[in-house]
Amino acid sequence: MTDLQLSTSPTGPSGTASTSAATSSGTRSPLQPKPRPRRTVRRGLRHAVMILASIVMIYPLLWMVVSSLRPNDEIFRNPSLFPISLDFSNYARGWESLAQPFSHYLINSTLLVLGCVIGNLIACSLTAYAFARLRFWGRNIAFAIMLMTLMLPIHVVIVPQYIMFSQTGWVNTMLPLILPKFLATDAFFVFLMVQFIRGIPRELDEAARIDGCGHFRIFFQVILPLMLPALATTTIFTFMWMWNDFFGSLIYLTSPENFTVPLALKSFLDTQGSSDWGAMFAMSVVSLIPLFLVFLFGQRFLIKGFATTGIK
Amino acid sequence: MSAVGELTQLVSNRNKGGAKEKHPDNKVGLAFMAPWLLGLLGITLIPMVASFALAFTDYSLLAAPEFVGLENIRRMIADTRLHNSLVVTFIYVFVGTPLQLIVALLLAVLLNQGMKGLSFYRSIFYLPSLLGGSVAIAILWRQMFGASGLVNQVAGMFGFHDLPGWVSNPDTALGTIILLHVWTFGSPMIIFLAGLRQIPEMYYEAASVDGASKAAQFFRITIPLLTPIIFFNVVLQVINAFQSFTQAFVVSGGTGGPSDSTMFYTLYLYQKGFTQFDMGYASAMAWLLLIIVAIFTAINFFVSKFWVFYDD
């Protein structure tokens, strides 16, 4: 189809419409040597656009990494990536410049992410199995409600939630952020898993049932092992979202020793004003490294996750 | 099928299917659904009702809520800062979302033409959308668009010296946050790419045999068959954009400044509810947000009848 497009263009080498139709069905090279260079030019142009776009997209990130290894005053003088210096003093200074060493906030964030991942894996998979495989009263209505909660702004529940958790004394702990995950409130993952379970052949369930398995055994021994890719996607997305979580953490985690990484960076910005950008960049880079690693090794699942929830 | 597509179908099919459904799994279904049901009640529905009730009260956590009738609504009508925050949010949503989706669609179409290095470019474009929600990137943005930040340094190389800071200028501060939003076009691009893959090659072959130009193929085949995915992206991105918070918070240092030019609605709501503890007012604001999001989602669904094309 590409060669037809080339040969029917007004200045194309093939001239009449009849020959262009012929070229589309036949092979191009022996009789039609000319389209080749044009095609190469076009292809080259496309790559040039792509490379330019890639540079624009990635340059700020590279520049931040390079700048975090430079002395402070150079950050405001040198927009280029070179010369690359390897001065780690920003990292040493940034690590110690808050009330706690930065590792403390990394551990807090890790605990938060861990709790949320476990909660989402358990609660969302149970719910998804029910939606995908069980026939119970009100299932379609419940499913529609679940899809609607996907679109509900959290702001409309956050004030009463805060009041509720302040009465149970959980404000300034991670419980208000973790507990909802154990109650399958992340509808996105429930939906993702429902989609996945629907794709597993029902014959497998039937076979297990004939062998005398109940729903819990079918779920744990047949479905759960088969839905590992969906569980991996859930793990990765939960990790990414909770590692970045800001609104909820800002509201619930009030004292500095409970701060997660995003809150630590924010308080860094508050205390340093705009003076020590080197240290701030350094800690920002540290905070992005786990995300980057997950991206590097989990990309397959991330993209698949989008594909399965995005389209039919 | 996407979450949006499935919801449309569930809602439109609710009165169809005369045959009575059987519910053999009621008991075990309840067991599987228990976490989700608890979450729906305790984390979503009851707080929603409570937040609706609080919207008619004056409440600051210290004393019991005091019923004030429509006082909060009267205050909202008179609150010019709130009106301004609505304008800021609308500009962000209705400039940022279309820009982001157009860039995503263009690059997805370019990438889909059998380019070499597809997965490399895809990774580069996707990475920013994973990092874009973090505080670290917002800090980077604040430096880049500061008075002597990266952008002005580069501008200086082209002879534009002594430009003012972009984030400290009320006319451009919102623009930098919109730009950050556009920068994260990677996730809708992935969804578009997956959608493009689903379009059968034979349509293009048939069209090219009939002599359709590349442009005609794009507008008559690609776009119509992609409309369900465009629709899905529009619905979700609009809902998400209305709730944006982190970037405006960090770039403006939590103030929404300069001169309220980045005072997003959610940021104003946060200030009212969680720094001034004016929780009745914040609840009323949350419900207005819910109503606005619901109206725009409903409009999206209604208008979709006229432009979204379902193949089967």
Q: Within this chain, do residues A195 and A272 fall inside the same structural domain, yes or no?
A: yes
Q: Within this chain, do residues A108 and A42 fall inside the same structural domain, yes or no?
A: no
> What pLDDT does residue B7 have?
78
Hey, are the CB atoms on B48 and A247 less than 8 Å from each other?
A: no
Higher per-residue confidence, B136 vs A34: B136
Q: Within this chain, do residues A133 and A207 fall inside the same structural domain, yes or no?
A: yes
Choose, out of B8, B10, B11, B44, the residue to mutate when testing the contact with A (most A CBs < 10 Å).
Answer: B44
Which residues of B are less than 8 Å from A63 in CB distance? 150
In a domain, A226, yes or no: yes
> What pLDDT does residue A184 have?
94
Helix (H, G, I), strand (E, B) or coil at B260: coil
Hey, are the CB atoms on A185 and B243 less than 8 Å from each other?
A: no
> What pLDDT does residue B1 have?
57
Below-50 pLDDT ranges, chain B? 17-18
Closest by CA position to A262, among listed A233, A239, A277, A242? A242
CATH for A300 = 1.10.3720.10
Return the axis-axis angle of helices A187-198 and A139-149, rounded to nearest 10°: 130
Higher per-residue confidence, A211 vs A306: A211
Hey, are the CB atoms on A307 and B144 less than 8 Å from each other?
A: no
A279 touches chain B (CB under 8 A): no
For chain B, how many structural domains are there in total? 1
Nearest CA in chain B to A161: B47
Q: Within this chain, do residues A181 and A47 fall inside the same structural domain, yes or no?
A: no
Give pTM, 2 decimals: 0.86
In a domain, B64, yes or no: no
Hey, are the CB atoms on A153 and B139 less than 8 Å from each other?
A: no
Show the domain range for A252: 95-310
Hey, are the CB atoms on A140 and B10 less than 8 Å from each other?
A: yes
Hey, are the CB atoms on A311 and B290 less than 8 Å from each other?
A: no
> What pLDDT does residue A2 have?
32
Express each pLDDT in A86-118 by its tens digit. Answer: 888 999 999 988 889 999 999 999 999 999 999
In a domain, B301, yes or no: yes
Hey, are the CB atoms on B289 and A146 less than 8 Å from each other?
A: no
In a domain, A86, yes or no: no
> What pLDDT does residue B22 have?
78
Which residues of A are less than 8 Å from B24 in CB distance? 135
The answer to whether A123 and A184 have CB atoms below 8 angstroms apart is yes
Q: Within this chain, do residues A32 and A99 fall inside the same structural domain, yes or no?
A: no
Whether ipTM > 0.95 holds is: no
Hey, are the CB atoms on A247 and B61 less than 8 Å from each other?
A: no
In a domain, A143, yes or no: yes
Which residues of B are less than 8 Å from A183 in CB distance? 35-36, 38-39, 42-43
Q: Which residue has the tokens 């240092």?
A: B253
**Of chain A residues 188-217, which have a CB less than 8 A from chain B?**
188, 190-191, 214-216
Q: Within this chain, do residues A155 and A191 fall inside the same structural domain, yes or no?
A: yes
Choose, out of A40, A52, A57, the residue to mutate when testing the contact with B (most B CBs < 10 Å).
Answer: A57
Express each pLDDT in B241-293 by its tens digit. Answer: 999 999 999 998 888 878 899 999 999 999 999 999 999 999 999 999 999 99
Hey, are the CB atoms on A153 and B289 less than 8 Å from each other?
A: yes
In a domain, B120, yes or no: yes
Tell me the torsion sign for CA atoms B129, B133, B139, B142: positive
Mean pLDDT of chain A: 84
Q: What's the token pair of residue B248?
A: 């405006």
In a domain, A63, yes or no: yes
DSSP assignments along A212-268, one per residue: T--HHHIIIIIIHHHTHHHHHHHHHHHHHHHHH--HHHHHH--SGGG--HHHHHHHH
> What pLDDT does residue A1 have?
31
Q: Within this chain, do residues A58 and A133 fall inside the same structural domain, yes or no?
A: no
Q: Within this chain, do residues A203 and A116 fall inside the same structural domain, yes or no?
A: yes
In a domain, A242, yes or no: yes
In a domain, A90, yes or no: no
Hey, are the CB atoms on A46 and B44 less than 8 Å from each other?
A: no
Residue A25 has pLDDT above 60, yes or no: no
CATH for B287 = 1.10.3720.10
Hey, are the CB atoms on B54 and A160 less than 8 Å from each other?
A: yes
Rounded (5°) CA angle A247-A311-B293? 40
Least confident of A56-60, A76-80, B25-29, B238-242: A76-80
For chain A, how many structural domains are there in total? 2
Higher per-residue confidence, B148 vs A239: A239
Please write down the long-range contacts of B129-133, taking CB distance under 8 Å and 24 or more positions apart.
Answer: B129/B184, B129/B185, B129/B186, B129/B187, B130/A240, B130/A291, B130/A295, B130/A302, B130/B186, B130/B187, B131/A61, B131/A288, B131/A291, B131/A292, B132/B180, B132/B181, B132/B183, B132/B184, B132/B247, B133/A244, B133/A246, B133/B184, B133/B246, B133/B247
Q: Within this chain, do residues A243 and A131 fall inside the same structural domain, yes or no?
A: yes
B42 touches chain A (CB under 8 A): yes
Show the domain range for B149: 70-307
CA distance B100 to chain A (A): 13
Higher per-residue confidence, B87 vs A84: B87
B115 touches chain A (CB under 8 A): yes
Q: Within this chain, do residues A139 and A12 fall inside the same structural domain, yes or no?
A: no
> What pLDDT does residue A305 have?
63
In a domain, B285, yes or no: yes
> What pLDDT does residue A45 have?
85
> What pLDDT does residue B183 have?
95
Burial code (b: 16+ CB inside 10 Å, e: under 16) for B71-80 equals bbbebbeebe
Express each pLDDT in A132-158 by its tens digit. Answer: 999 999 999 999 999 999 889 999 999
Helix (H, G, I), strand (E, B) or coil at B66: strand
Least confident of A41-55, A216-230, A255-269: A41-55
A161 touches chain B (CB under 8 A): yes
In a domain, B59, yes or no: no
Q: Which residue has the tokens 């410049």?
A: A97
Hey, are the CB atoms on B209 and A24 less than 8 Å from each other?
A: yes
Express each pLDDT in B60-88 by its tens digit. Answer: 888 888 899 999 999 999 999 999 999 99
B9 touches chain A (CB under 8 A): no
Residue A17 has pLDDT above 50, yes or no: no
Express each pLDDT in A243-268 by its tens digit. Answer: 999 999 999 999 999 999 999 999 99
Q: Within this chain, do residues A249 and A183 fall inside the same structural domain, yes or no?
A: yes
